[in-house]
């Protein structure tokens, strides 16, 4: 009988590695065990690869936050030197383990070490690590079985890696950048001549390669690589824009045909930037094949001619080229970044079209309207009277939005199974069951960021929201059965279910707010109010990001890369923090008291 391994377990047909979370991490991450798929059905491979993942877990999780971040930074430097096409099965397991535990280390460092923007470079490198790992897995899966057992023999040179982002963090922590490669990997020997001297003669449509067989990452090579992989579904118009832009750069600066993108001098980028602003507008005519020759011919006739708009240049020319250059960085072909090529469009500001958040005084005014103090009838909810109706969306939707920051459609789509207990607190889990279908349109949320968990504010509980929830659950299949669903996008073949807030927005003139703000306020203003109230209460910006999905103010305070790691569930502290948010609601009658008055 085969001996058992305490760290490897079989789930179905695939083996997993497992590691118990150290006590110091309890409460910082969900669960008490880390599990990682080894992507193999072979037990011998699982035992060998499991040790790779286990070494990462044990090295990093046993350290204090400062030491863990320092070692993570140094490991990411080593991993940069490994090309996706040369990764072995053990490499892939080690990198996935590093990505799994690395996000937790960075999140904890953000909260405890307060390194600020210095962590942004590490976030970016962790994302690049994960992307390169996915690409490496795709290469590995296509290999024949006999090739999968071979070790890789070539890695990137450290000299080609930009370590400035790492060094900023290590300087803060008192560490130094490692200069050694991944253990067990031989360093390639220096070529006898520069790569630029080893370029083979090819046509412009071929990928240029050096004598050692490795491609030179010219813009044309990157473009073809993009069309074959990430951009294989690119539309005909966008494809022609990219091809036209690359050809324009090659015609303007012929050296670009043979230079790797990171080697293109800044003078060439400046020349491109200046030249595109002189391209004539070929209105009513097909775009010429050689735009450089066409532009110079028009310029020879005089300088008074119509030029392409800056929007077109930023999108179809400069934007297309920088997208291709950045694609190489995204695929970890190099660490160089393309220079910004955006032509500013100056326009004097006149009137803001954006919606404004409610102020606390305006929220208090809304919660003191006849809906909550007494209406004339169920139909005339905003006309003063003596009747209160606390069993529908007109009463509860504004209260929910003010206490959670939920959008109007998110409130309308609430289902009873979405109320779940988390760390002893009732929470909304904004996920739609896959089995739920609607013949009128697609049921779903605005973006992937909208899938989240929101704690139930204690003030909502005190005014009887749970009593209302249980009352509706006993009578209906959803909390707000009288709220009419609307379909948007049917004319373009993508019908989606939406909920409107006309019941609220139509009465904006009755909210007793200044005239100059009446047209800037709507139901969505509750979301802006909630976000501002969170900041005023001193809630961690990353916690706000988890609660609301996204918002402009929080995005300005956080790293774009870090937002990809906010899929971790709420901690116990984040669940309790919502009670610090102040929502002025006045004398809203509790549901239990209302129910008693109806009997």
pLDDT digits (tens, 9 = 90+) for 528-568: 999 999 999 999 888 888 898 864 444 444 444 344 444 56
Distance CA 539, CA 522 (A): 25
Of the ranges 333-337, 519-523, 577-581, the best mean pLDDT one: 577-581
Distance CA 371, CA 399 (A): 11
Question: Which of 331, 338, 337, 326 lies closest to 129, judged by CA?
Answer: 331
Contact 59, 68 (CB under 8 A): no
What was the pLDDT predicted at 30?
55
* 163 or 217, which is more confident: 217
Span 53-79, mean pLDDT?
Answer: 78
pLDDT band at 589 (very low <50, low <70, confident <90, very high): confident
Residue 316 reports pLDDT greater than 60:
yes
pLDDT band at 160 (very low <50, low <70, confident <90, very high): very low
pLDDT band at 40 (very low <50, low <70, confident <90, very high): confident
Mean pLDDT of the chain: 77
What was the pLDDT predicted at 42?
83
* Cα dist from 254 to 204, 229, 246, 268, 425, whole Å: 10, 26, 11, 10, 65
Tens digit of each residue's pLDDT (9 = 90 or more) over 108-118: 777 676 665 55
Q: Is 596 left (phi over 0), alpha (psi -120 to 50) or beta?
A: alpha
Q: Report which DSSP code applies to 29.
A: B
Of the ranges 207-211, 212-216, 345-349, 381-385, the best mean pLDDT one: 381-385
* 203 or 357, which is more confident: 357
Percent of the chain topping pLDDT 70: 73
What was the pLDDT predicted at 555?
47
Tens digit of each residue's pLDDT (9 = 90 or more) over 481-525: 999 888 876 665 667 788 888 888 877 666 666 777 777 888 999
Contact 200, 208 (CB under 8 A): yes
Domain boundaries, given as residue ranges, for the chain: 8-145, 208-331, 360-435+444-597
Q: Report which DSSP code applies to 369.
A: S
* 563 or 278, which is more confident: 278
Question: Which of 403, 414, 410, 416 lies closest to 455, judged by CA?
Answer: 403
What was the pLDDT predicted at 354?
66
Q: Which tokens is 395 given?
A: 């009463």
Q: Which tokens is 148 given?
A: 């999968």
The secondary structure of 272-309, three-state, reads: HHHHHCCCECCCCCCCCCCHHHHHHHHHHCCCCCCECC
Q: Which tokens is 113 given?
A: 């070490």
Span 260-279, mean pLDDT?
Answer: 90
What was the pLDDT predicted at 492?
57
Percent of the chain topping pLDDT 90: 25
What was the pLDDT predicted at 576?
94
Residue 399 neighbours by CB under 8 Å, 6+ apart: 367, 460, 463, 465, 585, 588
Residue 1 reports pLDDT greater than 80:
no
- Lowest mean per-residue pLDDT among 33-47, 61-75, 183-197, 460-474: 183-197
Span 165-173, mean pLDDT?
Answer: 56
Distance CA 38, CA 97 (A): 10
Span 330-358, mean pLDDT?
Answer: 73
What CATH class is the domain 360-435+444-597? Answer: mainly alpha
Residue 593 reports pLDDT greater than 90:
no
* 27 or 67, which is more confident: 67
What are the start-end ranges of the H helices in 344-488?
Answer: 360-366, 370-373, 393-404, 408-412, 458-462, 465-475
* 404 or 14, which is more confident: 404
Span 256-285, mean pLDDT?
Answer: 88
pLDDT band at 198 (very low <50, low <70, confident <90, very high): very low
What was the pLDDT predicted at 533?
94
Tens digit of each residue's pLDDT (9 = 90 or more) over 416-461: 999 999 999 999 998 776 545 455 556 666 555 667 899 999 999 9
Sign of the alpha-carbon torsion through 501, 506, 509, 515: positive
């Amino acid at each position: 009988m085969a001996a058992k391994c305490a760290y490897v377990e079989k789930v179905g047909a695939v083996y997993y590695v497992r590691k118990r979370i150290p006590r110091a991490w309890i409460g910082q991450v969900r669960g008490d065990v880390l599990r990682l798929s080894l992507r193999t059905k072979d037990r011998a491979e699982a035992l060998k690869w499991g040790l790779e993942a286990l070494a990462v877990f044990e090295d990093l999780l046993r350290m204090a936050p400062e030491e863990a971040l320092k070692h993570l930074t140094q490991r990411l430097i080593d991993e940069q030197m490994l090309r996706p096409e040369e990764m072995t099965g053990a490499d892939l397991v080690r990198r996935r383990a590093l990505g799994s535990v690395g996000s937790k280390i960075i999140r904890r460092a953000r909260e405890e070490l307060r390194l600020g923007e210095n962590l942004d470079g590490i976030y970016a490198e962790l994302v690049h690590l994960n992307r390169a790992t996915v690409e490496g897995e795709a290469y590995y899966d296509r290999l024949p079985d006999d090739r999968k057992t071979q070790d890789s023999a070539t890695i990137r040179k450290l000299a080609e890696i930009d370590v400035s982002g790492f060094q900023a963090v290590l300087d803060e922590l008192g560490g130094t950048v490692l200069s050694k490669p991944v253990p067990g990997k031989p360093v390639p020997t220096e070529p006898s001549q520069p790569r630029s001297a080893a370029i083979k003669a090819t046509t412009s449509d071929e990928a240029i390669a050096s004598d050692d067989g490795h491609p030179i990452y010219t813009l044309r090579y990157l473009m073809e690589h993009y069309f074959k992989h990430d951009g294989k579904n690119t539309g005909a118009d966008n494809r022609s824009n990219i091809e036209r832009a690359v050809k324009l750069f090659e015609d303007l600066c012929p050296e670009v045909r043979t230079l790797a993108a990171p080697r293109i001098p800044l003078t060439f980028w400046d020349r491109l930037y200046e030249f595109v602003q002189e391209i004539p507008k070929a209105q009513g005519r097909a775009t010429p094949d050689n735009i450089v020759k066409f532009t110079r011919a028009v310029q020879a006739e005089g300088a008074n001619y119509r030029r392409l708009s800056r929007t077109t240049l930023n999108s179809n020319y400069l934007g297309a080229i920088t997208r291709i250059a950045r694609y190489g960085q995204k695929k970890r072909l190099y660490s160089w970044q393309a220079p910004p090529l955006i032509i500013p469009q100056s326009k004097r500001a006149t009137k803001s079209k954006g919606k404004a958040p409610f102020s606390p005084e305006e929220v208090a005014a809304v919660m003191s309207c006849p809906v909550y103090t007494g209406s004339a009838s169920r139909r005339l909810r905003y006309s003063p009277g003596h009747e209160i109706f606390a069993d529908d969306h007109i009463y509860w939707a504004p209260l929910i939005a003010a206490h959670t920051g939920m959008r109007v459609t998110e409130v309308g789509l609430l289902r009873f199974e979405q109320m779940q207990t988390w760390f002893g607190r009732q929470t909304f889990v904004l996920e739609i069951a896959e089995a739920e279908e609607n013949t009128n349109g697609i049921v779903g949320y605005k973006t992937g960021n909208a899938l989240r968990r929101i704690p139930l504010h204690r003030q909502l509980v005190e005014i009887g929201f749970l009593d209302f929830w249980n009352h509706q659950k006993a009578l209906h299949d959803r909390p707000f059965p009288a709220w009419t669903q609307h379909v948007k996008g049917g004319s373009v073949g993508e019908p989606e279910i939406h909920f409107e807030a006309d019941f609220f927005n139509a009465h904006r003139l009755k909210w007793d707010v200044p005239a100059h703000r009446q047209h800037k306020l709507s139901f969505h203003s509750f979301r802006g109010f909630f976000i501002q109230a969170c900041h005023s209460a001193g809630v961690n910006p990353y916690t706000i990001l988890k609660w609301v999905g996204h918002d402009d103010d929080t995005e300005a305070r956080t790293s774009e890369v870090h937002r990809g790691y906010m899929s971790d569930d709420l901690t116990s502290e984040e669940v309790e923090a919502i009670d610090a948010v102040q929502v002025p609601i006045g004398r809203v009658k509790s549901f239990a008291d209302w129910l008693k008055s109806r009997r």
